[in-house]
Amino acid sequence: MDQAEFVVVANRLPVDRIIEPDGSSHWRTSPGGLVAALEPVMQAVDGAWVGWPGQADVALDPFVADDIRLIPVTLSEQEVAEYYEGFSNDTIWPLYHDVISPPQFHREWWDAFTTVNRRFAEAAAAAVVPNGTVWVHDYQLQLVPQMLRELRLDVTIGYFHHIPFPADGLYAQLPWRKQVLQGLLGADVLGFQRPTDATNFLNAVRRRLRYEVKSSTVSVPADEETGVPAHAAVARAFPISIDTEPYRTLADDPAIQARAAEIRQSLGDPTTILLGVDRLDYTKGIRHRLKAYGELLDQQRIEGEEVTLIQVASPSRERVDAYVHLRDEIELTVSRINGDHDTVSHSAIRYLHQGFPREEMAALYLAADVMLVTSLRDGMNLVAKEYIATRRDSTGVLVLSEFTGAADELKQALLVNPHDIEGLKDTMVQAIEMPRAEQTKRMRALRKRVFEHDVQAWSHAFMTALAAARENQ
Ligand code: G6P
């Protein structure tokens, strides 16, 4: 495959290789907000995407899918366990999400993280033309910017961090806190979701590396060992968004509207449908949401037969202990609530441990009167924006945790602190009872925001900053 002007590097490719029990294999869209946001950006440019195909020991030649050139990186079984499940998702993920689950620190995991980051950096270096641009994504690849700079001084390097960056009090726990900051500072521009994330990062750089920081620019000194000259790295917020048009189109599609009506019917035509859509992850506050909902039913503040909660919990990181325990807990709670409140013809919670195609998601968003986003910590939360983009008649209520990046932008949502169960219950009742006129007033403002700040605007802002950085270097 020819080298590309523009290369994206992310842990996952936009498609996952799925191997069926009979040995046959096919491709499926990868989970999570990162792929949802980046795929449309990449479809619009002639670039290449370096990433892992989602299965251990799969060695594939580069190929094209959905008009994007894909360059697969192979991970061994042990690397999946130590780099992906271990350091990425059992060290960095919990640490950066306010230690909701205790992070594990293991030196072998760090070694695997370093080895795999180097492999991604080498793949990116081989894929990009002279003086081209590489955009590195997310916490799994925090060492890639510096490693790539050492390999290719001619290349402009961007990095976007899709998850929160923690305050120094938490970040300081990381035994490799200096190395990770140095890894990130190989980039010319570092993007974060919220201004607070960028500030936390810059504070960590000041405190841990003692580099000079002026406003949002870090002066990274020359490295005598590797011969990499000094450069400036800019760190600031670029809140990510969604590709709004597919949701608008699906919402206008009579077949999707019919499907939404069918979903309501199949639930026994309740007055109110509440909806939660999350990867099954402890950061999403699913337990808090279920607790509040169960208490509202127990106390008869909401009428069992008139309300249904649909909870889509898509499988995620299923071999990591914290996720195994979370699933057990959620499923126990769901069946307790259903056992107490179901009737033969009506279910309190329709729990779906599956991922769904976008068409079905759009029908669910159309059917839902109230959307519940109760994350305890969330970089952005794109599900909130997908719900808004789908609400074509400007009805519906978004209940949104203050601890999401989206809360910075979506001020007309009903903002909640999910730790405050009484407050969450009151807000859920307020959402269920909200008069239509108020729903419309809020949803119109939310739709304006989301349609104006879509994913194209996000990538354009980042690429403009990267071009400016290149000029300045
Ligand atoms: C979040 C992360 C992504 C990640 C996605 C899915 O959105 O920011 O980097 O890809 O979750 O998680 P997974 O571990 O399945 O890739």
Give 17's pLDDT tier (boundaries 50, 70, 90).
Answer: confident
Q: In what order do the strands lie in the sheet with 4-12?
A: 63-65, 68-72, 47-52, 4-12, 128-137, 156-160, 189-192, 231-237, 217-220, 212-214
- Is pLDDT of 1 > 80? no
More confident residue, 330 or 17: 330
Mutual angle of helices 244-252 and 254-266, in 10-degree steps: 70
Q: Is the beta carbon of 162 within 6 A of some atom in ligand 1?
A: yes
Q: Tell me the CA–centroid distance for residue 458 and ligand 1, in Å.
A: 19
What token pair was written down for 112?
């695997």
**CA–CA separation, 366 and 350 (whole Å):** 16
* Top mutation candidate among 9, 12, 140 for ligand 1, by most atoms within 8 Å of CB: 12
- Is pLDDT of 415 > 90? yes
Q: What is the pLDDT of residues 228-248, one digit of tens each?
A: 999 999 999 999 999 999 999
Q: What is the pLDDT of residues 163-221, one digit of tens each?
A: 999 999 999 999 999 999 999 999 999 999 999 999 999 999 999 999 999 999 999 99
Q: Does the 244-452 domain belong in CATH 3.40.50.150?
A: no
Q: Tell me the CA–centroid distance for residue 210 and ligand 1, in Å.
A: 31
Q: Boundaries of CATH 3.40.50.2000 in the chain?
A: 4-240+456-472, 244-452
Contact 334, 340 (CB under 8 A): no
Looking at residue 304, its pLDDT comes to 85
Q: Is the beta carbon of 453 within 6 A of some atom in ligand 1?
A: no
132 phi, psi to nearest 5 deg:
-80, -170
Q: Is the beta carbon of 138 within 6 A of some atom in ligand 1?
A: yes
**CA–CA separation, 429 and 293 (whole Å):** 10
Return mean pLDDT, the chain: 96
Q: What are the DSSP E strand ranges found in 201-271? A: 212-214, 217-220, 231-237
Looking at residue 25, its pLDDT comes to 87
Q: Tell me the CA–centroid distance for residue 382 and ligand 1, in Å.
A: 12
Q: Does the 4-240+456-472 domain belong in CATH 3.30.300.30?
A: no
Q: What is the pLDDT of residues 41-63, one digit of tens each?
A: 888 888 999 999 999 999 999 99
**CA–CA separation, 376 and 265 (whole Å):** 33
**CA–CA separation, 57 and 24 (whole Å):** 16
Q: Is the beta carbon of 317 within 6 A of some atom in ligand 1?
A: yes
At position 74, the amino acid (one-letter code) is: T
Instruction: Specify burial of residue 363 (Cβ count, 10 A radius: 0-12, 13-18, 19+).
Output: buried
What token pair was written down for 441?
């007033």
Contact 389, 443 (CB under 8 A): no
Nearest atom within ligand 1 for CA of residue 316: 15
Q: What is the pLDDT of residues 424-463, one digit of tens each?
A: 999 999 999 999 999 999 999 999 999 999 999 999 999 9
Give 257's pLDDT tier (boundaries 50, 70, 90).
Answer: very high
Looking at residue 44, its pLDDT comes to 83
Whose C-alpha lies nearest to ligand 1, atom 6? 32
Partnered with residue 309 across adjacent β-strands are 274, 349
Looking at residue 472, its pLDDT comes to 84
Looking at residue 31, its pLDDT comes to 83
Q: Is the beta carbon of 439 within 6 A of some atom in ligand 1?
A: no
Looking at residue 37, its pLDDT comes to 86
Q: Is the beta carbon of 9 within 6 A of some atom in ligand 1?
A: no
What token pair was written down for 166?
């923690």
Q: Which of 63, 79, 73 is nearest to 27 (CA)?
A: 63
